[in-house]
Amino acid sequence: MLGLFKKYKNLKIVLFFSLLLVFAGLFLNNEYYFATASIFVINSLLITSLMMVIGYAGQISLAHGAIYGIGAYTSAILTTKLGAPFLLALLASALAGFLVSLIVGAPSLKLRGHYLAMATLGVGEIIVILFQELDFLTGGVNGFVGIKPAEIFGYSFVNLTEYYALVSVIAVSILAFLAIFVDSKIGRALRAIKSSEIAASSLGLNPSFYKLMVFGLSGAVAGSCGSLYAHLDRFISPSTFSVSFSVMMVAMVIVGGESSFAGSLAAALIFSLLNEYVRQFQELSQFLFGLGLFLVAIYMKGGIGNIGKIFPAKLERVKRSEAS
Amino acid sequence: MIETLIQLLISGAVLGSIYGLIGVGFSVVHTATGAINFAQGEFAVLGAFLAISLTGADLPHFFAVIISPIVLTLFVVLLFRIFLTRVADDALYLVVATIALSLMLKTLLLYFWGREPIGLSSPFQGKTLNIAGLMLGYDQLLIIAGALIAYIFLLFFFSKHPAGKAMKAVVEEKEIAMASGLNPALYQGVAFAFGSLLGAFAGCLVAPVSMLSYNSGGLLGLKGFASAIFAGLDRPERAVFGGIILGVIESLVVLFVPSGFKDVVALIVLLIVLTLKPEGFLSGGRKRLA
Amino acid sequence: MLEIKGLNAYYGHIKAVKDFSLRVKKGEIIAILGPNGAGKTTLIRSIGGFSPPYTEGEIIFNGKNITRLKPFERLGLGIAVLLEGKRVFPGLSVADNLFIGGYTLRRRKKELKENIESVLELFPVLRERLNKRASVLSGGEQQMLAIARALISSPEILCLDEPSFGLGPKVVEAIFKTLDYLRKERGLSIVLVEQDAALALKFSDYSILMVSGSKKIEGRSKELINDKRLLNIYLGG
Ligand SMILES: Nc1ncnc2c1ncn2[C@@H]1O[C@H](COP(=O)(O)OP(=O)(O)OP(=O)(O)O)[C@@H](O)[C@H]1O
Ligand SMILES: [Mg+2]
């Protein structure tokens, strides 16, 4: 057991996270707070899944919010319009997220850096426009109303406390899987590719395959998040999945440290607390994360999650500027 | 029928001129720094909103439309001097910084100007020119004129003006340029400021014709970028034509698909260019600058 | 005029130039010799202010400490540098290349024009190709253009990193003759990095042989021509 934690060091963080969720569950006493807490859990998972793309595949995606939306709409349509069971819809959302994410990731085989960012931004925007315009399916700009509550083997999770428990169990399981994944053989291959694509491909690793795999995996997780979200508020609308939210998530990942589980989870927590604290102007958190991202980009190239590395990086900068 | 078609072509060219102006801003910045300014669309909206507020404070229309881009440019110059110049040599971090900037600007736009779309009321509202039965609003004429002036100016700037040549030199061989006494950061800053000036100006021109909201910047920016990349990021002045082509395609497509999908068309053009020919279609065989 | 005191230059942990000192007088030609990887390029880049990541020591020019100045500030003071390999702005015309070389003089139109005239007299081939793009010039023409461009700002000292690289003997001779002329007529000082030791010794006043970052041998070029040690180092010492 302990060996497991040693081998997969991110499991410790996931364990800590699940304890936090348990404590929150014991401590909170109001349905409203359970809704907020559920959103926090969903966001944590969502941001961690984007962190995989940025931190482990070394790619950027500004369509993550859209993929989250794909999951949400898939689940809403399947359960409410077609009467599919929740668990099936959850799986279908994951599958839809997986497939669409492959499409989003496809340009990464050819494009790099900011070109890729623009391409994914374009795909994300297209998907959101489709949410708005295909109103016979999605309800259009007014949103999808009256989504069925999640139901497992006849038990309906209408009570938000119970739904919080369900969301937490699912999210923690997925997080644990991701934590094991990044320190598995595949995870190590990814790191090798990220540090040098040429060297890795000379070792027989196929960078395209691994990159797409991470996009797919991350999309599947984001799709599941969408499904969990759809059955929480039981109302979804295109604006939730806008490109701004995607940009915001990238900011959260980078501020948290681009390949840090703890950083992503912490960013999600700060985001939730901020939104809770200033309810009149929720966009404040958008501003603050924007500011955080700005400062990180300019002063510490590596994110707050890499706080230990900041100091030497600074020294090097001083040296360089002295020399030039 | 023919008349509707021509009318559509004209309105496409008008919209396209806006995309083109915004796109030129992308190319100029990319030419000098190798980066893409993700806040370009927000600069356009901010320019428009500033002008709206200025006219709201009873300043004359023309004054507002000129002052607003200038104020914004000064702001960008400061921003560049204080912060961005530290990452000006590192395209990726510069890009991330502009992504951050777009997030912050969007919040500020929402905070100060609210959620509802607003427009700029120009003195030409409703005034149209009737050329052989075709109606062309003065405001639309101004847009096309603005784009053409930008085109001619840039053509002149990069081929004749010393600063334009210097900017090209910095992009081609940064170290030799430094050895020739040029300070790259200066030209990168100038490019950045100039790009935002064009963006803000485009915003001021489009605001009388179509209402903007705090989050219009995303789509405007994407379409501007599509124009720029269609033309080839290394040829700033040609982005104007990239934009006009894009605008025309967009307005003709309305004949075939529901108008709600119009925006998708520009984005699909963007994706096609990015995947098939990222060096652009109008870039004409010249060696790429960046 | 130019004085380097105890220069150390690092790439990370690699010390590419070690405790290097040098004095260049007006009108003097100094040749820097040495095998590949000796640190010659690093030395030239340090004089020009181009980052090898980190340097220690002082560089004084006409009594002014320029150690912390940026390359474009150094040019203004009269230090022109031709970096290794890079020569011209390929996409700009020959005329524009020259114009950029004189960019710091762009407000003094008359002076700029005279300077351009005088370098075109030194390199008449360039005059015939003024409107051609630099990338279509031959290697020798490009090198002449590079030197011409560096001369337009009328520097007091010109540092050249392997100007003869890849050029035929005729062109090399022409270039060196021009440099010699400039030194005699205008008192231009030159620091020259050159692989062809015989040529460099013949042409320079003073020579320094660098080996792995340090001075190994130095002395008046006339005396070094017959120094056996030089030969040994070049041929496997
Ligand atoms: N960018 C760099 N990063 C790390 N080390 C470098 C770098 N440039 C040069 N070096 C190292 O510094 C040392 C000196 O290199 P330098 O280019 O100055 O030699 P050189 O004398 O000009 O050689 P050559 O005759 O081949 O041009 C070499 O050991 C080289 O490997
Ligand atoms: Mg060398």
In this prediction, residue A316 carries a pLDDT of 40
Q: Does the CB atom of residue C46 touch ligand 1 within 6 A?
A: no
Q: What is the pLDDT of residues C34-51, one digit of tens each?
A: 888 899 999 999 999 987
Q: Could you give all domains of chain A from N- to C-terminal order, each with its CATH number?
A: 2-323 (1.10.3470)
C135 touches chain B (CB under 8 A): yes
Q: How confident is the model over C41-87, as pLDDT tens digits?
A: 999 999 999 877 688 899 999 999 998 898 999 998 999 999 988 78
pLDDT of residue C237: 44
- Are A323 and C55 inside 8 Å of each other by CB? yes
Is C208 touching B (CB cutoff 8 A)? no
Lowest mean pLDDT among A21-25, A42-46, A202-206, B266-270: A202-206
Q: What is the pLDDT of residue A166?
A: 96
Kindly list the residues from chain C whose CB atom is less than 8 angstroms away from the CB atom of residue B183.
70, 72
* CATH number of the domain enclosing B89: 1.10.3470
Residue A306 has pLDDT above 60, yes or no: no
- Please give the helix or strand (H or E) that residue C56 lies within, else none: strand C54-61
Q: Do B270 and A122 touch (CB under 8 A)?
A: yes
Look at A320 and C53 and tell me if their CB atoms are within 8 Å: yes
Query: Between chains, do B96 and A254 touch, taking CB under 8 Å as contact?
Result: yes
Range with the poorest average pLDDT among A57-61, A68-72, A203-207, B81-85? A203-207
Give the residue numbers spanning the domain of B270: 2-276
Cβ of residue B91 closer than 8 Å to a chain A Cβ: yes
Ligand 1, residue C44: give the atom nearest the CA: 18
- State if residue C33 touches ligand 1 by the CB under 6 angstroms criterion: no
Rounded to the nearest angstrom, the distance between the alpha carbon of C161 and the centre of ligand 2 is: 7
How high is the pLDDT of residue C145?
93
List CB-based neighbours of ion ligand 2 within 5 Å: C 41, 84
A324 lies within 8 A of chain C by CB: yes
Give residue A134's Cα distance to chain centre: 25
Give which of C45, C73, C100 to mutate to test B binding, by max B Cβ within 10 Å: C100
Q: What pLDDT does residue B284 have? A: 55
Q: Compare CB distances from C92 to B162, B168, B181 and report the shortest one's residue.
A: B168
Beta-carbon-side half-sphere exposure of residue B108 (alpha carbons within 13 Å): 16
- pLDDT exceeds cutoff 80 at B33: yes
Q: Which residues of B touch A130 (CB under 8 A)?
A: 264
C-beta atoms surrounding C27 within 10 Å: 17
| pLDDT confidence of residue A320 | 41
The pLDDT tens digits of the residues spanning B63-73 come to 999 999 999 99
- B285 falls within a domain: no
Q: Is the CB of C14 under 6 A from ligand 1?
A: yes
8 A C-beta contact, residue C171 and residue C16: no
Within-domain flag for B287: no
For residue A118, give the nearest of B188, B23, B117 by alpha carbon: B23
**All residues at 6 or more sequence positions from A165 whose CB lies less than 8 Å from its CB, including other chains:** A25
C-alpha of residue A195 to centroid of ligand 2, in Å:
29
What pLDDT band is residue A310 in, cutting at 50, 70 and 90?
Answer: very low
Mean pLDDT, residues B49-60 taken together: 94
pLDDT in tens, B206-244: 999 999 999 999 999 999 999 999 998 888 888 999 999
pLDDT at residue A308 greater than cutoff 50: no
Q: Tell me what pLDDT residue A301 has.
A: 59
* Chain C CB contacts of B166 below 8 Å: 100, 103
Q: Which of A105, A126, A120, A118 is nearest to B229 (CA)?
A: A118
Q: How far is the CA of B203 from the centre of ligand 1 (A)?
A: 50
User: In angstroms, what is the span from residue C189 Cα to ligand 2's centroid?
Assistant: 20
Q: Give the confidence band of B290 by pLDDT, cuts at 50, 70, 90.
A: very low
In angstroms, rounded to a whole number, what is the distance separating the alpha carbons of residues A238 and A140? 8
C-alpha triplet A57, A62, A68: angle, nearest 5° = 95
- Whether A312 and chain C come into contact, CB under 8 Å, resolves to no
Distance CA B70, CA B75 (A): 9
B118 secondary structure, DSSP code = B
For position B283, what pLDDT does the model report?
A: 65
- The closest-lying atom of ligand 1 relative to the alpha carbon of residue C12 is 4
Is B212 among the domain residues? Answer: yes
Q: What ligand is nearest to the CA atom of residue C20?
A: 1
Q: Is any ligand 1 atom within 6 A of the Cβ of residue C143?
A: no
Give the number of the atom of ligand 1 that is nearest the alpha carbon of residue C39: 18
Q: Give the nearest ligand 1 atom to C213 CA.
A: 14
- Please determine, for residue B141, whether its predicted confidence score (pLDDT) is greater than 80: yes
- pLDDT at residue C236 in the model: 54
Q: Rounded CA gap, B237 and B55, in Å?
A: 30
- Cβ–ligand 1 distance for C219 under 6 Å, the answer no
Residue closest to C27 by CA, chosen among C165, C150, C216, C185: C185
Give pLDDT, residue A197.
76
| Cβ partners under 8 Å of residue B112, min gap 6 | B49
Whole-number Cα distances in Å, B38 to A298, B100, B147, B288, C71? 16, 9, 21, 22, 31
d(CA B155, CA B149): 10
Spatial separation of the C-alpha atoms in residues C13 and B34, rounded to whole Å = 30
Q: What band does B171 get if pLDDT is binned at 50, 70 and 90?
A: confident
User: How many Å lie between the centroid of ligand 1 and the Cα of residue A301?
Assistant: 27
Does residue B240 belong to any structural domain of this protein? yes
Model confidence at A95, in pLDDT bands (50, 70, 90)? very high
Radius of gyration from C-alpha coordinates of chain A: 20
pLDDT of residue A317: 40
Ligand 1 near C51 CB (within 6 A):
no
Most confident of A21-25, A66-70, B74-78, C220-224: A66-70
The answer to whether residue B281 sits within a structural domain is no
What total number of domains does chain B contain? 1
Q: Do C51 and A319 touch (CB under 8 A)?
A: no
Angle between helices B2-33 and B162-172 (to 10 degrees): 70
Question: Residue C194 in 3-state DSSP?
Answer: coil
Name C214's bridge partners: C211
CA distances from B133 to A145, A277, B3, B129, C30 (A): 48, 59, 8, 9, 79
Residue nearest (by alpha carbon) to ligand 1 atom 22: C41
Residue C34 beta carbon below 6 angstroms from any ligand 1 atom:
yes
> Best interface-test mutation with B: which of A294, A296, A316 has the largest number of B CBs within 10 A?
A294
Q: Does C221 touch chain A (CB under 8 A)?
A: no
Distance CA(B251)–CA(A132), nearest Å, equals: 20
C130 in contact with chain B, both atoms CB, cutoff 8 A: no
C neighbour chains, 3+ CB pairs within 8 Å: A, B
Which candidate from B172, B176, B181 shows the least CB-CB separation from C91? B172
Q: B102-112 pLDDT, tens per residue?
A: 999 999 999 99
> Using one digit for the tens of pLDDT, what is the confidence trace for A255-264?
888 888 999 9
Q: Which of A115, A251, A296 sits opposite B278 (nearest CB)?
A: A115
- pLDDT interval class at C171 (50, 70, 90): confident
Question: Taking the CB of residue A188, how many other CB atoms lie within 10 A of it?
Answer: 11
Nearest protein Cα to ligand 1, atom 28: C37
